């Protein structure tokens, strides 16, 4: 784990307190006293440390805070940070290319960092985006090779678009064997899953080698006898034989937010690094993301080691998360909208699917709350937005647990339901 800022890593017990910020009727924001009483009533009954913030998304006015400026482990709400930075730096239309070029031993499969490249058949209408197809790339390549009279090749592979370690500071040893994420690589197929399209989470140990082997099999089926070769770096001027592209970044962001996809989040962070001239590594991605957030004016209270939020060393304040939600929801930043539209709908989609928002205390938020979840051992977080009963757009962030003991995500759902159902006039 990387060193933490003073006062962050050591989360000593402190007396928490809630504040409700008065709001004048003239400015059109919600009555903070009503909302504050309801939230404080629920928060007051728990021994688990909880940091919380609610703001008026239009004005930025803080309506409720309990340790709102105190950094906490964000878990997968880190993906909101990554998504906003990527959309701002790269634009929603950015795509990631995977290509095949001529090489000394035959051909080189060159990864550009798209973990959603798939060997599965097209699955229109099955609930996932139209990811780039390895089969399509094999068909293009086989056609080009046969046109030149080549019927036998070795498939070397180039994953040098990424640098540094394949796991981040603060990642627990069980993440890879448990299949929470694959070893991060610039060349991977189906996120390195051993059995893509099934519920099996197991990942391959060497994603680039597995990708090259799968591609060689597809070339063979297309009439070009192929064997997997070795890792290499493709010449910059090598002749291109085929290429496929990922869906637009806006689609990737919506997917990673809805499904809390760790592999895509790490890939997106590295795309920011490459765009900003930083090393395409965990450290470079974090530097690039922070640089973009600084330009947007929302870097205060954010410190990250990765793009997915798996790192236990990440620290973000609730007010920082709420401000990011408000920024992405702003009419002035339409390029950031995918970070909002990708948030799961309470009780209906993604990581907020049932049984969440099915209890009496949270049901009022079903269909009304949209939020990014975060879960690590001893930590649960929720950051998103809702229109209150009077039609005001409120952004919130709730962060509970300090990495020890148990946490109850349903309490955060109940807090968000209060935000969505409050007639705070």
pLDDT at site 71: 97
pTM attached to this predicted model: 0.90
Q: Which residue has the higher pLDDT, 41 or 110?
A: 110
In angstroms, how far is CA 93 from the centroid of its own chain?
17
User: What are 176-211's pLDDT values in tens digits?
Assistant: 999 999 999 999 999 999 999 898 999 999 999 999
Task: Please give the Cα distance from 401 to 407 (Å, whole number).
Answer: 6
pLDDT at site 26: 35
* Statement: residue 316 has pLDDT above 50: yes
pLDDT at site 406: 87
Across 30-136, the runs of DSSP E, i.e. the strands, are: 50-56, 62-66, 97-103, 106-110
Across 8-123, the runs of DSSP E, i.e. the strands, are: 18-20, 50-56, 62-66, 97-103, 106-110
pLDDT at site 269: 98
Supply the DSSP string of 184-239, one letter for each residue: P-SS-SGGGBSSTTSS---B-S-HHHHHHHHHHHHHHHTT-EEEEEEE----TTPP
pLDDT at site 30: 57
Instruction: Kindly list the catalytic residues.
Output: 76, 79, 260
Average pLDDT of span 290-309: 98
Residue 262, SS3 per DSSP: helix
* Statement: residue 127 has pLDDT above 90: no
Q: Which of 249, 253, 289 shows the shortest CA–CA distance to 269?
A: 289
% of the chain exceeding 70 in pLDDT: 91
* Statement: residue 24 has pLDDT above 60: no
Q: Identify how many contiguous H helices and E strands the chain contains and give both numbers.
A: 10, 13
User: What are 237-260's pLDDT values in tens digits?
Assistant: 999 999 999 999 999 999 999 999
Q: Which of 370, 363, 372, 378 shows the shortest CA–CA distance to 410?
A: 363
pLDDT confidence bin for 425, thresholds 50/70/90: low
pLDDT at site 18: 40
Average pLDDT over all residues of the chain:
91
């Amino acid at each position: 784990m990387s060193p933490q800022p003073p006062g962050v890593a050591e989360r000593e017990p402190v007396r928490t307190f809630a504040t409700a910020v008065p709001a004048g009727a003239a400015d059109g924001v919600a009555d903070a006293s009503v909302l504050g009483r309801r939230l404080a009533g629920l928060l007051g009954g728990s021994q688990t440390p909880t940091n919380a913030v609610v703001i008026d998304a239009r004005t930025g006015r803080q309506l409720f805070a309990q340790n709102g400026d105190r950094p906490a482990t964000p878990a997968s709400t880190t993906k909101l940070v990554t998504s906003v930075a990527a959309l701002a730096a790269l634009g929603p239309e950015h795509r990631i290319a995977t290509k095949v070029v001529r090489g000394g031993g035959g051909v080189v499969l060159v990864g550009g960092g798209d973990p959603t490249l798939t060997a599965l058949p097209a699955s229109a209408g099955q609930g996932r985006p139209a990811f780039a197809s390895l089969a399509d790339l094999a068909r293009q390549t086989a056609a080009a090779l046969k046109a030149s009279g080549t019927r036998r090749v070795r498939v070397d592979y180039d994953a040098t678009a990424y640098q540094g370690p394949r796991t981040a500071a603060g990642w627990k040893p069980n993440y890879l064997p448990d299949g929470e994420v694959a070893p991060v690589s610039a060349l991977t197929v189906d996120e390195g899953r051993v059995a893509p399209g099934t519920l099996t989470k197991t990942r391959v140990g060497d994603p680039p080698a597995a990708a090259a082997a799968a591609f060689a099999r597809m070339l063979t089926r297309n009439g070009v006898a192929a064997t997997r070769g070795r890792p290499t770096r493709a010449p910059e001027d090598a002749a291109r034989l085929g290429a496929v592209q990922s869906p637009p970044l806006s689609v990737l962001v919506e997917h990673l937010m809805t499904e809390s996809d760790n592999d895509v989040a790490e890939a997106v962070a590295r795309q920011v690094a490459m765009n900003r001239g930083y090393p395409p590594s965990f450290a470079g991605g974090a530097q690039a993301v922070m640089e973009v957030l600084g330009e947007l004016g929302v870097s205060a209270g954010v410190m990250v080691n990765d793009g997915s939020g798996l790192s236990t060393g990440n620290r973000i304040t609730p007010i920082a998360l709420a401000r990011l939600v408000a920024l992405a929801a702003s009419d002035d930043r339409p390029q950031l909208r995918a970070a909002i539209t990708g948030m799961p709908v309470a009780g209906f989609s993604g990581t907020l699917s049932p049984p969440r928002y099915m209890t009496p205390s949270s049901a009022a938020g079903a269909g009304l709350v949209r939020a990014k979840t975060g879960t690590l051992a001893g930590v649960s977080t929720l950051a998103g937005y809702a229109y209150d009963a009077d039609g005001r757009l409120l952004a919130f962030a709730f962060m509970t647990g300090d990495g020890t003991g148990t946490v109850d995500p349903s309490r955060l759902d109940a807090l968000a339901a209060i935000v969505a159902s409050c007639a705070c006039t």
